[in-house]
Structure 1
Amino acid sequence: MSATIIALVGNPNAGKSSLFNQLTGLRQKTGNFPGVTVDKKSGTWTIDSNHTATVVDFPGVYSIYPKSLDEQIVTDILANPTHPDYPDVAIVVVDASNLHRNLLLFTQIADLGVPVILALNMLDVAHKQEKEVNAVKLSMRLGVPVVRINARTGEGVEQLKKAVLNHVEQPLPANKLFFDPGDEVAGLITDTKTQYQLANNYLALQYIIQHDGFTFLNRQQQVGLDTIIDKHQFSERKFQADETITRYKRISKIVADTVTQKRGANQPTWSQKLDRILLHPVWGYILFTFVLLLIFQAIFAWAEPFMDAIDSGVAWLNGKLKESLPAGPLTDLLTDGILAGIGGILVFIPQIAFLFLLVALLEESGYMSRVMVIMDRIMRKFGLNGRSVVPLISGVACAVPAIMATRSIGTRRDRLITILVTPLMSCSARLPIYTILIALVVPSKRVLGVFNLQGLALMALYLLGLVSALLAAYVLKGFLKTKERSFFIMELPTFKLPRWNHVGLTIWESVRSFVWEAGRVILAISIILWVLASYGPGDSMEKAEQQVRQQNPTLSDDELQNRVASERLEASYAGNFGHFIEPVIKPLGYDWKIGIALLSSFAAREVFVGTMSTIYSIGDGDEEGVTIRERLRQERNPETGGPMYTPAVAWSLLIFYVFAMMCMSTLAATQRETKSWKWPAVQLVYMMTLAYVTAFATYHFLK
């Protein structure tokens, strides 16, 4: 039975993913459904010593009629027996406390002819609502095995194994259709079954209604179905509405016969009472703001020691390798290229881990669903929806985990817009640049005896990032046209304690995805940048070093080494590139030295500070930040003889870094989440254009 495929299908928040984790544990892998860029989780389920199966966790849906591309994949597979993920058995997970709504999806899947087992989950919630479900009677009425489970604790998994094994050894006969379209549109169904060699009436109906979205039908087959529709003058929307009404009438009878509810059970639960505060139009926003403050304070406070430890560890290892290995280009490549690139990858892990830890706790508890509901009305005006809130706010810490957090956004367009605008939120990597440049041009004075001018300038830059992200989303909404309608349907789960094994799996998947996907790109570009800064055309770098040593015989060893490093950098390919792009950046007030810093910033924005340190022959030290500010303040413009970093130049640089997409890890994360290099390219072009235009305007306005 090694080839057996089991699909987990169900409504959002019915417990499907929890059951998936119970069945597969750590034997999971992530990838794409064949032929589409939709994430899927699959894993191995050891049923017994002789039987294993591949379990595929399908996207959560309310019906087989999809409202997004992610939901489309469910019907696209279940209507296509030749698909590699077509299941031998579909386990439909239903919420026992809301059986009436959950059974709609079950009846549709059963009518497609897919072998079905019903997993009756959340019975504890139903019990708290004083509802009792008779699983035996429900099984008889539905004609399929019904298993009582608790996906959070694993209760009922053994009975689920027996049901699956029984089906494998002796498949159940096809059940009578809950809704037979042949009774309503016999001619339409007959023509479709005959032309496309189908045996199932309801499958034939899906060919008629959803053929434009089926990837397994070619254009000629789709046109043929359009011809059948025209012949019978079939109204898809009206028929679909009538079908849903008919199904619910039959489901109501089944629920009435199998579910008993005590009088007074409709009293509000404690979760519903709490929602009166959390969803309140005033208190809801106040509490959410307080939660955000706690989250990001925790992220910075908890992650910083680990990030410092990683930085120190990489620096220590780098130094040891340089001491123990013979000097040469291979050692430099290993230490300054490869190891530095690996350090740039690892240093993000604490922030990613802590962010997803806190987000997972909010999701597991049920609070995140409430946040999305209260924010949806505001975000929708800008082309986003309630699920965009978490990624945007997370971008203040780091855009990489923030972009990864967009996976919870249902529609592709809303998710794509959120990914494209999230890097406009000022991340922590910009902070060193902001701090140094603001100190150059903003006096350290207090306003009203409370507010520091430099602090207000810093806050203004962060607010500028937020406003620009919302405005960019509004503009992109007009460009990204789609037939896909943006729905925001959010099931509000009851509040519950987090399951730590699920939280751990979430953190592990997030960190692993970053290290192995985005990390490979970061490492590759880090090596490229090292090569550009370490080598130059011909013997130009050697001549530059020789000239410095001859012209500065009185300098101390440290000063001489710093001057040599600066001249070698100017003579390198990176230095040549700085001179090459100088005509382009000169209208912004920048020279070739700033050009090199801009180039190196593509590795990571915070590299700007280290690059300026090397360019201006500054050695490392405890007071590096202050030393850089003083040296920049002393730098003279060779053309005017005045200060190089005037308010116009400094503010131009600040505005440039607010908008510029200068973080290869963010581009790598965008490629990972969109499964395409098209959207990172769009992100790079529009943000760099915005950065250039605004920096140009700022420089000439202040000049």
Structure 2
Amino acid sequence: MKSSPIIALVGNPNAGKSSLFNQLTGLRQKTGNFPGVTVDKKSGTWPIDSLTVATVVDLPGIYSIYPKSLDEQLVTDILANPSHPDYPDVTIVVVDAANLHRNLLLFTQVADLGVPVILALNMLDVAHQQLKEVNAVRLAMRLGVPVVRINARAGEGLEQLKKAVVSQIQSPTLSTNLFFDPAKEAAGLITDTKTQYQLDNNYLALQYVIQHDGFTFLNRQQRLDLDAIIDKHKFSEPTFQADETIARYKYIATVVEEVVVDKRPTGQPTWSQKLDKVLLHPIWGYAIFGFVLLLIFQAIFAWAQPFMDAIDTGVAWLNGQLKESLPAGPLTNLLTDGILAGIGGILVFIPQIAFLFLLVGLLEESGYMSRVMVIMDRIMRKFGLNGRSVVPLISGVACAVPAIMATRSIGTRRDRLITILVTPLMSCSARLPIYTILIALVVPSQRVLGVFNLQGLALMGLYLLGLISALMAAYILKLVLRTKERGFFIMELPTFKLPRWNHVALTVWESVRAFVWEAGRVILAISIVLWVLASYGPGNDMDQAETRIRQESTTLTSEDLENRVASERLESSYAGQFGHFIEPVIRPLGYDWKIGIALLSSFAAREVFVGTMSTIYSIGAGADDENVTIRERLRQEKNPATGGPMYTPALAWSLLIFYVFAMMCMSTLAATQRETKSWKWPAVQLVYMMTLAYVAAFATYQFMK
């Protein structure tokens, strides 16, 4: 047996494939790209025995091996190409026992490709609730392949699955006869294809004919040769696919009739169907969704605040302790005012990020998020988006990069392009630190009607503004990018289930770790660069500024004098001069040169804004302010022109509105370029979003000041 066999997981959406993947791999997962294509893959290791560690590859969910989108094309592209690096030694086809008739279509197609297959019979508990009983032994005899009963959610049946995998690796068992033999209807076509490509499988030869334009492992000449074979035999692909599907379903019907006992009274709805009458209602469905969103944003503020306060205070205390215990000098200042101040500006928001992903994970695990996609599809169509655009837009609340990659499931090019261009308008988790710290400055923490927190309502308003702006931008783009293509939205609604806390916890852990790790690396680098730029200046400008202030400010107290000196030195530094250079452009928005530095640094990643402000105000602070938190520093900042608070409601809301619309994430632009294969669309995305951000922030500030 190979020391590192490849196990592929294949199945319909919502069949439990991802749940099984999580059970098999646990924390031994990683993400990357499939070789040769820009489609995300999830892979992980599964220790089968003391000597064998299998690589488990989670392939995109599909209903049939005939693809309708980029991610679906990947499955056949791998299973039809034995030289592919991810070609499996064993393929586990995960099927929903409650919907066996539909799920077996994909199974018969994969088995006919000549790949060693195991049928994982999942969701037997759901089938039992629906008064359906599946005879797994009889099913295995009818299909001629190993059938294993599992519960992917609870982790049951994994040992039996492991034994079946080992058996298939050591002695591969293939179905003796094809479930559908295309040579009966297209013998000459199949013979020519098998001869030319030295194939011994009729159904695999058929896929070479039908999918040759999509297969990445075929070159241009091979595609032309296959076109010639098609022309020679006058082969009609759509007609043949329709005949094949009908023939397969006829066979599957006989199998299901033999192995499934259905005890349900005719016409009796399940409890999930009863709930859907309310959750999918054209009025109550939206009202319930709005209430759920309101609870989420209320919880983000109410539950996370004690943890945030503890982290904020702890970082400020540590900063002060390090300054007291370490010798004074550039290295100590770099550690405290640069690295620690910047990283602390991100760590403080871990509780809110964790609660956000916790609540969203519960909605996904329960099955409610699929209902949200269905009811939102009604709105999306009015704005020219495909219903499948709902998935990337909702994913954009976490991060725009994977959300843009998720557009591969959208079949039409125009709908996919529009979705890519508007998805960054959805407020991602990187904006959350900016939102929360500025909202906390200008929105009072008081309750409305004794239940709702004003800060939570403000946060929800910003997220809704992002959604509304995305829809409006999509509508405008629909008018500009005209096409005759029509998009369709098909989604199977999973049954409602109790959330699996271990899976939710894994999702939260992975999300928080990715947020801290990805943001932390960028912030660390920028904090060091920013500290250097803010601590040093051209020539002796900083020393001259300090000398001038000490000579002019003879009446100030010692504390006020040191604060004034620190502020003047910062203003005379490289960072300060650069901030002053761009200040005329941002002054109409209410921003000063310090905010200008933060705006520029946050082009690397939005969340860097808070870390940058923390670093700037730490450098500009006096010795007595070492234990002051970043929120207190912002609250204490004075406007040199008025002498009043710098962060007035007008300024704070101007910044909030700016970051709702601003395209300040280089990773997102890179993802757009990769998905569109052109720099034209990232440029369009950058220009229209930055213009919208500037105009909206300008209007907000001028109206509120």
Alignment TM class, shorter chain as reference: 0.7 to 0.9
Residue of structure 2 equivalent to 1:261: 262
Which shifted more, 522-531 or 626-635? 626-635
Deviation at 1:264, TM superposition (A): 1.7
What SS does the corresponding residue of 2:332 show, helix, strand or coil?
helix
Residue of structure 1 equivalent to 2:420: 416
What SS does the corresponding residue of 1:212 show, helix, strand or coil?
coil
Q: Is the 8 A contact 2:16 2:96 kept in 1?
A: yes
Q: How does 1:63-462 map to 2 (within 5 A)?
A: 63-173=64-174, 175-262=176-263, 264=265, 266-384=267-385, 411=409, 413=416, 416-417=420-421, 419-423=423-427, 427=432, 429-430=434-435, 433=438
Deviation at 1:521, TM superposition (A): 2.2
Read off the aligned partner of 1:328 and give its amino acid letter.
G
Identity of matched residues, %: 73
From 687, 690, 695, the equivalent of 1:688 is: 690
Closer, same or farther: CA 651–205 of 1 in aligned 2, 3 Å: same
Which shifted more, 43-52 or 471-480? 471-480
Read off the aligned partner of 1:199 and give its amino acid letter.
D
Deviation at 1:522, TM superposition (A): 3.0
Deviation at 1:11, TM superposition (A): 0.8
Read off the aligned partner of 2:420 and give its amino acid letter.
L
2: CA distance between counterparts of 1:674 and 1:257? Answer: 52
Could you tell me the TM-score, scaled by structure 1's length? 0.84
Deviation at 1:77, TM superposition (A): 0.8
Residue of structure 1 equivalent to 2:53: 52
Q: Is the 8 A contact 1:178 1:247 kept in 2?
A: yes
Which shifted more, 286-295 or 592-601? 592-601
Deviation at 1:258, TM superposition (A): 2.0
Read off the aligned partner of 2:574 and give its amino acid letter.
Y
Deviation at 1:215, TM superposition (A): 1.8
1: CA distance between counterparts of 2:253 and 2:93? Answer: 19
Which shifted more, 124-133 or 267-276? 124-133
Deviation at 1:78, TM superposition (A): 0.7
Residue of structure 1 equivalent to 2:449: none
Q: Is the 8 A contact 2:527 2:611 kept in 1?
A: no
Residue of structure 1 equivalent to 2:63: 62
**Alpha-carbon displacement from aligned partner over 1:585-621 (angstroms, at most 9, x marks no partner):** 4676766566446446656445697699789989967
Q: Is the 8 A contact 1:632 1:645 kept in 2?
A: no
Deviation at 1:42, TM superposition (A): 2.0
Which shifted more, 116-125 or 346-355? 346-355
What SS does the corresponding residue of 2:213 show, helix, strand or coil?
helix
Residue of structure 2 equivalent to 1:490: 491
Residue of structure 2 equivalent to 1:447: none
Closer, same or farther: CA 700–226 of 1 in aligned 2, 3 Å: farther
Which shifted more, 687-696 or 80-89? 687-696
2: CA distance between counterparts of 1:577 and 1:654? Answer: 23
2: CA distance between counterparts of 1:300 and 1:680? Answer: 34
Which shifted more, 588-597 or 364-373? 588-597
What SS does the corresponding residue of 2:38 show, helix, strand or coil?
coil
Q: Is the 8 A contact 2:639 2:646 kept in 1?
A: no
2: CA distance between counterparts of 1:87 and 1:583? Answer: 60
**Alpha-carbon displacement from aligned partner over 1:55-101 (angstroms, at most 9, x marks no partner):** 22212111111222222221111111111111111111111111110
Closer, same or farther: CA 496–615 of 1 in aligned 2, 3 Å: closer
Which shifted more, 584-593 or 266-275? 584-593
Residue of structure 1 equivalent to 2:451: none
Closer, same or farther: CA 538–237 of 1 in aligned 2, 3 Å: farther
2: CA distance between counterparts of 1:461 and 1:140? Answer: 57
**Alpha-carbon displacement from aligned partner over 1:204-259 (angstroms, at most 9, x marks no partner):** 22222222222222233223323333333332222222221121111112212222
2: CA distance between counterparts of 1:56 and 1:653? Answer: 43
Residue of structure 2 equivalent to 1:508: 509
What SS does the corresponding residue of 1:176 show, helix, strand or coil?
coil
2: CA distance between counterparts of 1:282 and 1:149? Answer: 39
Residue of structure 2 equivalent to 1:443: none
Gap runs ≥5 in structure 1: 440-452, 636-642
2: CA distance between counterparts of 1:457 and 1:211? Answer: 53
**Alpha-carbon displacement from aligned partner over 1:279-328 (angstroms, at most 9, x marks no partner):** 11112122222211212211221222222222222222222222222222
Closer, same or farther: CA 615–469 of 1 in aligned 2, 3 Å: farther
Read off the aligned partner of 1:422 and give its amino acid letter.
M
Which shifted more, 601-610 or 68-77? 601-610
Deviation at 1:394, TM superposition (A): 8.8
**Alpha-carbon displacement from aligned partner over 1:539-570 (angstroms, at most 9, x marks no partner):** 22122212211222222122212221222122
What SS does the corresponding residue of 1:93 show, helix, strand or coil?
strand
What SS does the corresponding residue of 2:177 show, helix, strand or coil?
coil
Residue of structure 2 equivalent to 1:550: 551
Closer, same or farther: CA 457–183 of 1 in aligned 2, 3 Å: closer
What SS does the corresponding residue of 2:281 show, helix, strand or coil?
coil
Deviation at 1:46, TM superposition (A): 2.5
Residue of structure 2 equivalent to 1:32: 33
Q: Is the 8 A contact 1:337 1:527 kept in 2?
A: yes
- Residue-pair matches, total: 679
2: CA distance between counterparts of 1:390 and 1:63? Answer: 20
